[in-house]
Amino acid sequence: MTPRTWAVVAFGVLAVSLAVAVLVLVPWHRPPAPRADQLAALRSLPADQVTAGKAFRAALRPAGYGSMLVGLVVALALGLSPLGARLIEAIGRPFGGNWVAQAVLGGLAVVLVADLVTRPFAAWRHSIVSRYGLSTQGWGGWTVDLLKGWAVSAVIGVVALLGFYTITHFAPRWWWAWGAAGAAALVVLLSFVLPVLVEPVFNKFTPMADGPLRTELVQLARDDGVPVRDVLVADASRRTRQVNAYVSGLGPTRRIVVYDTLLREAPPAEVVSVVAHELGHAKDRDVFTGTLIGALGAALAVVTLFLLGGWTGLLRTAGVTSIAEPRAFALLVAVVAVAGVVSSPAQALLSRHTEARADAHALALTNDPGTFEAMQARLSSVNLGDPDPPRWEYLYGASHPSTVERMAAARAYARGERAGR
């Protein structure tokens, strides 16, 4: 069989594997609480809190969707015209114009241009967050974090670009196979590396002081069968007043991380409830599931790009002769941008079901629905969340159940009902 035939076979195998992983590993059997319970929960929240949350999210909406729209338009303009290929060629020319210069420098230039055109929207968002009192970071700190983000992205980008185009250069007929394996491996690697190496770039972590809360959190993790190496406090207050906690790392690197803002804003019982939710992700191996789905999706994307390379009209529009050449990187960015916009509702749906299972885990682990409900109300209040967002926005991009859904789930638990029973 020809490489293209093998690629079609690989596409089918990967697509089926991805579908099976999604169907089997995602907890689809957890429907949201009845709407009547959600509305009752909404009525229990202070009216000024609901108004403030809705006003804040409405203020953010133009910047968020404006950034997405402009980013998509620029990606399409660069990728579906010769502009992107010419930019990559021009960037690589002073450095010899070889494929390495085009792949690395030209590729980074395309990504930088796409980021720069949306950066004003990010600044707009920061000004709104500051105006509403959620940000504790001035423009200097915001700029420093921006530069850190660019540096981290550049390192990852150089590794990915050089690796991918080395494969396409030296294995022109079978690059899709090696590239798919490499993309999957990179996803797995990043799932291990990011928590250990990247998180400290943006936050300082200190061990939580010995005391009743630390002892309770460690015991909670032990009772849950999720051993952790340490309990850390992140200095989130240097940039935000928002509250959160999470369980980071895998195996021997796993640790509970609590925002210092959460310790300041919430009583210990609510901190325990938040951590119990995060332990649910570790208990149910949600990081493994996400990594597996991400790896299969990355491999499938590479094979899809190879198959798209047979579409001569698309190549002609982009001003390139092969989708595997570095000059075609802008075309790849355009394809990925469209795929991201189209797949966002599906990704959000998967995330919501996974988060709902973690909520159910927290309720079962703590057996304290009252504290869980109070914690959800506090999260929405402090973080200025919309407790009951517009349906279209919820379906398109909400990664978590709404506040009223989560409060209603706690009430259902208190009545003796168990989600998914």
- Distance CA(254)–CA(250), nearest Å, equals 5
Q: 326-346: per-residue pLDDT in tens?
A: 999 999 999 999 999 999 999
Percent of the chain's residues with pLDDT above 70 = 98
- In one-letter notation, the amino acid at residue 361 is H
Domain(s) labelled CATH 3.30.2010.10 in the chain stretch across 204-284
Mean pLDDT value across residues 6-28? 96
Mean pLDDT value across residues 169-198? 90
Q: 278-287: per-residue pLDDT in tens?
A: 999 989 999 8
pLDDT recorded at residue 136: 93
Mean pLDDT value across residues 221-228? 90
Torsion of CA 20, 25, 28, 29, to 10 degrees: 120
How many Cβ atoms are within 10 Å of 3's Cβ, its own excluded?
16
pLDDT recorded at residue 363: 95
Residues 6+ apart with CB under 8 A from 203: 234, 235, 236, 238
Please choose, from the candidates 231, 225, 226, the residue with its C-alpha nearest in 3D space to the C-alpha of residue 212: 231
pLDDT recorded at residue 421: 38
Please report, for residues 196, 261, 293, the alpha-carbon distance to residue 245 in angstroms, rounded to integers and kept in the order given: 16, 10, 24
217 falls in which pLDDT band (50, 70, 90)?
A: very high
With tokens 């974090």, the residue in question is 145
What element of type H or E holds 66? Answer: helix 47-79
Architecture of the domain spanning 204-284: 2-Layer Sandwich (3.30)
Total-model pTM? 0.91
Percent of the chain's residues with pLDDT above 90 = 86
Secondary structure class of 172 (helix, strand, coil): coil
418 falls in which pLDDT band (50, 70, 90)?
A: low
